[in-house]
Amino acid sequence: MCMKIGVMDSGIGGLTILESLLKNCPNHEYIYFGDTYNLPYGEKTKNELINCANKVISFLEKENVDIIVVACGTVSSNIEYVKSNVPLIDIISPLKDMLDNYNLISIIATPLSIKTNAFQKYINTKLNLIATPLLVPIIEGNIKKDVNKVLKEYLERAKGSDALILGCTHYPIIKDEIKKIYKGEIITLDKFIIEKINKLKGNKSSLKIYYSKLNESIINNTYKILKRDKLIIERVCLNDK
Ligand code: DGL
């Protein structure tokens, strides 16, 4: 049976999960949606976030997806409020029981993800939660020159922990910069999703990418993150105006 899998995020961050899926579970039809028009999600109110997420989900449902991978830490942290007619696979609940062998784990994530206490729900280890609001705008805006200074300040607070979870799917895009500053183990959320999707059988591969706002930088970043030379990328307007 062929699975049509929707993958959603506020922008290019979910591509880090999609890239892993394409590499490790290639036999599926993937439809990606990045809600770049409404980004960043991490600074919205809960209601604003749910409203945006629901629109993306109903778009993907109309594309006849069988399941949706919520490749966004912020939406995953609020998954119980989101409405969907197809099963949702979030990226935070798979952390359950997988991180028991640590003394102290630091997590960097968006302000809204940190505020919801979602990580504490699934991880038993002592946690050091660090809200990092400047990172998504820096990554989406390609403002690499600012990243080291900002990261140094944030990661100063992660000192002394055994591992650092990149709790937002945008952050693996700057993993090399993070590695230069944080010397402990770095955990990304893709590996837990791969384990789940690998259980689904598929026999057909395809990929289509949609954004609610599209420009050259988004297109270039998409090619760079997915490491492909031919992609179908389209703009779709989900807002009422
Ligand atoms: N990639 C989203 C996440 O994982 C970023 C949210 C945002 O747009 O602030 O949380």
Q: Can you give the pLDDT of all 241 residues of the chain as single tens digits? A: 668 999 999 999 999 999 999 999 999 999 999 999 999 999 999 999 999 999 999 999 999 999 999 999 999 999 999 999 999 999 999 988 778 889 999 999 999 999 999 999 999 999 999 999 999 999 999 887 889 999 999 999 999 999 999 999 999 999 999 999 999 999 999 988 888 888 888 888 999 999 999 999 999 999 999 999 899 999 999 876 4
Same domain, 182 and 204: no
φ/ψ region of 105 (left if φ > 0, alpha if ψ in -120 to 50, else beta) reads beta
Regarding whether 228 and 145 lie in a shared domain, the answer is: no
CATH (domain of 52): 3.40.50.1860
* Positions of E strands within the chain: 4-9, 29-34, 67-70, 88-90, 104-109, 126-131, 163-166, 185-187, 206-211, 233-235
- In whole angstroms, give the CA distance from residue 240 to residue 122: 36
**Do residues 67 and 11 share a domain?**
yes
How many folded domains does the chain comprise? 2
Distance CA(176)–CA(200), nearest Å, equals 32
Structure-block tokens of residue 231: 């992609």
Note whether 45 and 81 are same-domain residues: yes
pTM for the full model?
A: 0.96
> How many angstroms does the Cα of residue 14 sit away from the middle of ligand 1?
8
Q: Does 240 map to a domain? A: no
- Rg for the chain (alpha carbons), in Å? 17
Q: Are residues 200 and 182 in the same domain?
A: no
Quick one: pLDDT at residue 96? 86
Look at residue 234 and give its three-state secondary structure.
Answer: strand
- Same domain for 203 and 85, yes or no, is yes
Which residue among 56, 170, 171 has the greatest number of ligand 1 atoms within 8 angstroms of its CB, and so is best to mutate? 170
Close Cβ partners of 131 (under 8 Å, ≥ 6 residues apart): 109, 110, 111, 114, 115
Catalytic (active-site) positions? 72, 168
Residue nearest to atom 2 of ligand 1 (CA): 72
Question: Which domain covers residue 114, as residue numbers?
Answer: 93-189
CA of 203 to the centre of ligand 1 (A): 31
Q: What pLDDT, on a 0 to 100 scale, did the predictor assign at position 181?
A: 96
Predicted confidence at residue 241, as pLDDT, reads 46
CA distances for 115 relative to 71, 77, 85, 135, 208, angstroms: 18, 9, 27, 17, 33
Q: What is the pLDDT of residue 160?
A: 94
Domain presence at residue 83: yes
Pocket of ligand 1 (CB under 6 A): 9-11, 13, 39-42, 72-74, 110, 113, 136, 168-170
State the distance from the centre of ligand 1 to the C-alpha of 9, rounded, in angstroms: 7
Whether residues 39 and 149 fall in one domain: no
Q: Are residues 56 and 67 in the same domain?
A: yes
Do 10 and 83 fall into the same domain?
yes
Contact 8, 74 (CB under 8 A): no
Residues 72 and 111 in one domain: no
Determine, yes or no, domain membership for 102. yes
Residue 104: φ, ψ to 5°: -145, 125
Token pair, residue 83, equals 């409405």
Are 166 and 116 in the same domain?
A: yes
185 and 100 fall within a common domain: yes
Cα–Cα distance for residue pair 21/198, rounded to 1 Å: 9
Residue 241 counted as domain residue: no
